[in-house]
Structure 1
Amino acid sequence: MENNRIQILKEILLDLHHGASPESVQERFNQHFKGVSALEISMMEHELMASEDGVTFEDVMSLCNVHANIFKGAIADVEVADADQEGHPVYVFKQENLALRSAILRIRRIIENISKPENEPFKSDLLNGLKHQMTLLGQFHNHYTRKEKLFFPIMERYGNDSPPKVMWGVDDDIRKLFRDAGSKLQELSNSDADIEEFSKAFETFSEEFEAMILKEEAILLMILLETFTQDDWLSIAEESDAYGYAIIKKQSRTRTEENTENTRIIDTPEGQFTITFTPKPKNKSVANRETTQPFGNGYLSVEQANLILNHLPLEITFVNKDDVFQYYNDNVPADEMVFKRTPSQIGRNVELRHPPKVLDKVKKTFNLLRSGERDQVPMWFKSERLGKFVYVTYAAVRDDQGDFQGVLEYVQDI
């Protein structure tokens, strides 16, 4: 990356934030760039939000669509072996976008036809079809969650923390727009006025949703393809089932099979593909997991302690005193967890694990526990997905001297 290119991109973006028209900025962009690396965009956004120019995360998020349109067609393609094979996480991600676009087109066709006089006898069927397509489209939640829980942590490890933060904020805005459209759908009757209200809400949602598809495929995936290793893609393929898929065919579990020392076959919902690579060497534990040692009021081996934690009727998460997500237990499979956890989240800063809309609440909770003002902060809610009433406790963990060592979160089905 060349610093002068990043500086020019920053200046263009600042001009936008200071009121320049997209057309004038586009012209200047075209003068300076034949192709731009997605990594340069990531670096530019990071430096912009970290600078003293007064541009905030919210500012960048509000102009996210303008940024994407300016970069459209200019971002250099990145070719990576295996990425276009059926079953590769990139291939699956793109196939989902195709399926989601198709659902949007079907909904638009139904809206277009539902008020035509000649379709009056079929209005009830069309309304049912509309609700079915909206249910299918609602599976974009799985698509977004996989992106946020599997792609973003790895990006952050490589220093690309600005795009995830901005994109997650936009994702949450899109989720809200979909809920608004869903509310209008529930109010639908045979009234043309009601259908018009739903149509407006749906188009507001779909405009932002389709813009996000552009950002995902023109910017996000280019960053991933430039930076992720084969090990990264393998971990994503292995952990994706926990979060589910959008519309495309699913299977219950993802299986990896090691055929040779440097080859793996991956079975995923869209098919099977092979990656040839040199795996990272695994760290060998120096501790004997079977040897017992003093532990609390008795003695346990590492293996026994692990089994006990995994057999507790609780989902346990530990964030250490440096706000780093350090541990979670395997009480149930990941796809059955109330708060889904996968290995890629380990080592992630707690602020980066939460969507921007709840970040202030998370910080407040941790400050209460860290300061000693509270020892526990409870919450409860009804999980519609699991059909459970859930009780969550955030508890301060302190050592024998009373010094704060982290936060223990435990989740119960009550």
Structure 2
Amino acid sequence: MSKTIDFSRSVYELVTEYPELVDIMAELGFTEIKKPAMLHSVGKLMTIPKGAKIKNIPMEKVLMALIQHGFTLSGEMPATAMDEVPETVAAVAAEEAPVSRTEQLKAYLRRLGAGESLESVRADFVENFQDVEASEIMQAEQELMREGTPLAEVQKLCDIHSALFHGATREEKIANAEKEVMASVRRAKELAAQKDYGNKNERAAVLAAIPGHPLHTLTRENAVLSGWLTEAKAKLDAHEELGELFARIRELSVHYAKKGDLLYPLLKVKYEISGPSNVMWTVDDEIRDELAELSKLDAHTPAWEERLRAVLQRAEEMIYKENNILFPICSVNFSETEWHGIYRDSLDYADCLGVKAEVWPEAATPAAAAPASEGEIVMPGGHMTLEQLTALLNTIPLEISFVDADNYNRFFNEGPKVFKRPGMAIDRDVFSCHPPKIEPMVRSIIDDFRNDRRDSVPVWMQKNGRIFLVTYMAVRDKTRKYLGTVEIVQDMEFAKEHFAH
């Protein structure tokens, strides 16, 4: 049977068909061909003529060796094949020293960019990187982004990484997950000496065991979601409708929002760990958006089911990434004070995935006021100069009037007003500013506020041909102590005009 060498085919393809080529090419000087990682990465992009040019091996020598071993030659001959070699391939292939694992990971990504199927790359990835560490994935992602690789391409590496956790059997999945859990995570070189990642998983487990701790809540949510995803897949296999289960799974959007608002930015800005925020955050959005799109389609066709299976798989993979990469990284880097702040901020989010957030007493005490510069006004939510605060209140498209607990006018924001508020009215009794027929209503509203019978009173009215909403609201502190009343006037004509179109 004729053995044909087509010079347009990759080295990997030729070696796969003719294994004896490995020794032949190695004797000619192509020593990298005996390194499985190189063969499975760069070898899939490299042809023999291009490799000869990079290694400065005369093609005549290559041709003679192949002919002597009984090969027939076809495809692009050396004279035309010795064109420009892609710089990214040449830079890796010409290196005689062992290629770093990060560079090998990046080579997998380049193969995807060249159009190779995800499954093919995944197969090689699992074969050569079963013991890859989370930090190596993170480092490869960050280096690629620094080199200008589009974020969409980097996200593919995130998808390949999920192959680590998905063996053919349940036992393999557990084994791979445990291997990843025990892998040490290292930060970038400049932070490696400052952070001990050796016990990252133990630290994450300790935090996740504290009732009310953010990792406790997030981990419980993942456990529930994992069960629902398994149930959903079983229903799809049985050709059953998901019903309410689909809506419950979509609650992962709240879980993802908490990660996006509370974890990713802190990792990126303070600790310069941008991989999770740039890659995982985008995957979160894609999962959430795909579920939303599928929910709008009434016809549950085979194509719809296929899309649903795919997004459920991505959601399952995200659970692994959170539990084995994101949460351990956070546990090593975030300070106790930062975890307290994350807990307090998380209280603004609705409970989701059937998990009710527990109280974390240690973090329940409000944080101390943020440090302020001289001349600033310090508030629980931050600090501003008087100039900034004044401009902010004047910029808000509302007429704002504040009456204190003793019924005196204390503040009007500036600017044109439909309901005039003369500056001379400041420090006057609020009732003196209303005509006799209105005064009883004003007294009644404030009395209800003072005695905690009501919190707000909306009044819709027309004035000068325009619609206005006047809202009176009780101003209270956190103990519900009455501090005064605020009147807010808003021109609602814009809403009428908006919905008229």
TM range (shorter): 0.5 to 0.7
Q: Which digits, 9 at most, give the CA deviation of each residue in 1:101-125, with x for residues without a partner?
A: 222233334445566xxxxxxxxxx
Amino acid at match of 2:371: N
Report matched runs for 1:13-412 at 5 Å. 13-19=105-111, 21-30=121-130, 36=133, 38-51=134-147, 55-70=149-164, 72=177, 73-74=179-180, 75-76=183-184, 77-80=200-203, 81-113=206-238, 130-157=242-269, 158-184=271-297, 186-187=298-299, 194=301, 196-250=302-356, 269-272=357-360, 274=362, 282-287=370-375, 289=377, 301=386, 305=390, 308=393, 313=398
- SS of 1:246's partner is coil
C-alpha separation in 1, matches of 2:318 and 2:311? 11
Q: CA deviation at 1:307?
A: 8.5
Contact 1:96 1:247 in 2 (8 A): yes
C-alpha separation in 2, matches of 1:275 and 1:9? 41
Q: Which digits, 9 at most, give the CA deviation of each residue in 1:26-66, with x for residues without a partner?
A: 44435xx5x73x44532332122213xx7432221123121
Contact 1:136 1:247 in 2 (8 A): yes
- SS of 1:187's partner is coil
Q: CA deviation at 1:233?
A: 1.1
Q: CA deviation at 1:164?
A: 0.9
Cα separation, partners in 2 of 1:150 and 1:310, compared to 1, 3 Å? farther
Q: CA deviation at 1:100?
A: 1.5
Cα separation, partners in 2 of 1:210 and 1:283, compared to 1, 3 Å? same
Higher relative contact order (CA 8 A, sep 6+): 1
* Structure of higher CA gyration radius: 2
Q: Which has the higher strand share?
A: 1
Q: Which is further off, 234-243 or 136-145?
A: 234-243
Cα separation, partners in 2 of 1:153 and 1:201, compared to 1, 3 Å? same
Q: CA deviation at 1:147?
A: 0.9
Contact 1:289 1:303 in 2 (8 A): no
C-alpha separation in 2, matches of 1:151 and 1:239? 11
Contact 1:96 1:245 in 2 (8 A): no
- SS of 1:224's partner is helix
Q: CA deviation at 1:144?
A: 0.9
Indicate the residue corresponding to 1:387 in structure 2: none
| RMSD after superposition | 3.6
Structure 2 runs not aligned, ≥5 long: 1-98, 112-119, 166-176, 185-199, 379-384, 400-491, 496-501
C-alpha separation in 2, matches of 1:27 and 1:113? 33
Amino acid at match of 2:250: G
**TM-score, normalising length: structure 1:** 0.53
**TM-score, normalising length: structure 2:** 0.45
- SS of 1:170's partner is helix
Structure 1 runs not aligned, ≥5 long: 1-6, 116-126, 189-193, 251-268, 291-299, 315-411
Cα separation, partners in 2 of 1:274 and 1:58, compared to 1, 3 Å? same
How many residue pairs match? The answer is 257
Contact 1:181 1:205 in 2 (8 A): no
Indicate the residue corresponding to 1:351 in structure 2: none
Amino acid at match of 2:275: S
Q: CA deviation at 1:284?
A: 4.5
Q: CA deviation at 1:142?
A: 0.7
C-alpha separation in 1, matches of 2:210 and 2:394? 39
Cα separation, partners in 2 of 1:313 and 1:101, compared to 1, 3 Å? farther
- SS of 1:222's partner is helix
Amino acid at match of 2:283: V
